[in-house]
Amino acid sequence: MSHLRIDGERLLGRLRALGGIGRDGDGRLVRLAASDADRAGRDAVAGWMREAGLEVMLDRIGNLFGVWDPGASDAAPLMLGSHIDTVIDAGIYDGCYGVLGGLEVVQTLREAGVAPARPIVVGAFTNEEGVRYAPDMMGSLVFAGGLGVEAALATVGTDGTVLGEELARIGHAGPHEPGFLRPHAYLELHVEQGPVLEREGVPIGAVENLQGISWQRVTIEGEANHAGTTPMSMRRDAGQAAARVVTFLRDRVSRSNAPTVATVGCMVFEPNAINVIPSRAVFTVDLRDPDEARLLAEEVALARYLEELAAAEGVAITVERLARFQPVTFDPSIVRAIEAAAAAHGLRCRRMTSGAGHDAQMMARVCPAAMIFVPSAGGISHNPREHTGLADLVAGANVLLDVARELAGA
């Protein structure tokens, strides 16, 4: 095991500095893709990349890369990456830990005068969260060829803006075609965002697979009417119908022993007035399962239920697919390298599945990929209370350092 170690204080300092960029009027961290807050975060990360001696490059979908090509070799680069866009009212570690951890690894190698046999690239992918523009993991999906760049740039956001116009407005619509870099391998460091590692007292997760994700937007059209004068039997209540879908999903998923999870995260009623029966309800459904056949079965069951519900409630129901990603298995040899690096550091490690979506899910389409997890306090994420202690942050980044050295021949 090498005695090279990352600089934990520098990593934590940058995580906290980046975590302070994009606070809204209520102090919430909201750095949505291609927003002014995202620009500020991107500019900070690009500055740190340059400070570390990396060449900063942008592709057309705004994926940001810091490139270290020590010998201008034509060998395919090792890529360390994640994302810096956030959800609404986010924590400071989700995504940012992987980008800044990757940068810390490169800066540590450069400062130690250790030259890798292949270039190393630190990537910050555009719009991993998908909160403003669906689907999520969009930048890495385009990079991996799973979505055309023109279609992605034309995406209309929840706020009616167009992604390509917003990227141009913030000055992050780059010149390079997505996929202009063809990585030899991809490694992503990320907080677990779940309860497993903390509960088991294990500091390192070697992520061997990632569950499938299905995102849908459901619109229910009923009829506005007076809340006081309309008998219950005469209502075409879009709100009631929507509520039944939420309960259907929870009851169905809770009844089975499968690890399937279902979330209705967004819901709006129209006209949204206390004394008007909702004429319309629009809500999102996030379904996930590590098994593709089960995920498909859940989608079919929901579609069937919506048909029955429309007839029973006298409403019209339409569904728009926002994202659909199959489960992914990561590269077993990199998973073993993570386990070996953890062991060399005397750190317990366990293999695990990722419940969250990650850019690694897309990068696994174009090169061997895997992920390193560190514990999340209380298993909390997508929440300002998201936290990982410094010792765990440093341990994860040192494992990343050693696996990166092995993959890059440094």
Residues at the contact surface with ligand HGY, assessed by CB under 6 A: 128-130, 136, 356-357
Name the site residues for Mn ion (rule: CB under 5 A).
94-95, 358
The shares of helix, strand and coil residues in the chain, as percent rounded to the nearest 5, are 35, 25, 40
User: What single string gives the DSSP state of each residue in 346-381?
Assistant: T--EEEEEESS--HHHHHTTTS-EEEEEE--GGG--
Return the one option of Mn ion, ligand HGY, none that residue 104 interacts with (CB less than 5 to 8 A, by type). Answer: none
- Closest approach, Cβ 83 to Mn ion, in A, equals 6
Q: Is 387 assigned to a binding site?
A: no
- Closest approach, Cβ 206 to Mn ion, in A, equals 17
- Closest approach, Cβ 149 to Mn ion, in A, equals 21
Nearest to residue 371, comparing CAs of 95, 91, 7? 95
CB atoms within 10 A of CB 24: 12
Q: Identify which of residues 193 and 240 has a Cβ nearer to Mn ion in the complex.
A: 193
- Closest approach, Cβ 71 to Mn ion, in A, equals 32
Taking CB atoms, the residue at the shortest distance from Mn ion is 358
Q: Identify which of residues 68 and 133 has a Cβ nearer to Mn ion in the complex.
A: 133
Q: Is 94 assigned to a binding site?
A: yes
Instruction: For residues 385 and 55, give the distance between their C-alpha atoms in angstroms, rounded to a whole number.
Output: 34
CB 359 within 8 A of CB 207: no
Q: Is 83 assigned to a binding site?
A: yes
Q: Identify which of residues 94 and 289 has a Cβ nearer to Mn ion in the complex.
A: 94
Q: Is 172 assigned to a binding site?
A: no
Q: Is 129 assigned to a binding site?
A: yes
User: What single string gives the DSSP state of each residue in 186-230?
Assistant: EEEEEE--SSHHHHHT-SEEEEEEE-EEEEEEEEEE----BTTTS
User: Quick one: DSSP state of residue 31?
Assistant: -
CB 207 within 8 A of CB 373: yes
Q: Identify which of residues 136 and 192 has a Cβ nearer to ligand HGY in the complex.
A: 136
User: Quick one: DSSP state of residue 177?
Assistant: P
* 20 phi, psi to nearest 5 deg: -90, -5
Q: Identify which of residues 95 and 119 has a Cβ nearer to Mn ion in the complex.
A: 95
- Closest approach, Cβ 322 to ligand HGY, in A, equals 11
Three-state DSSP at 181 gives coil
Return the one option of ligand HGY, Mn ion, none that residue 294 interacts with (CB less than 5 to 8 A, by type). Answer: none
CB 220 within 8 A of CB 312: no
Q: Identify which of residues 153 and 356 has a Cβ nearer to ligand HGY in the complex.
A: 356
Return the one option of ligand HGY, Mn ion, none that residue 79 interacts with (CB less than 5 to 8 A, by type). Answer: none
- Closest approach, Cβ 372 to ligand HGY, in A, equals 17
Return the one option of Mn ion, ligand HGY, none that residue 136 interacts with (CB less than 5 to 8 A, by type). Answer: ligand HGY
Residues in binding site? 83, 94, 129, 190, 382
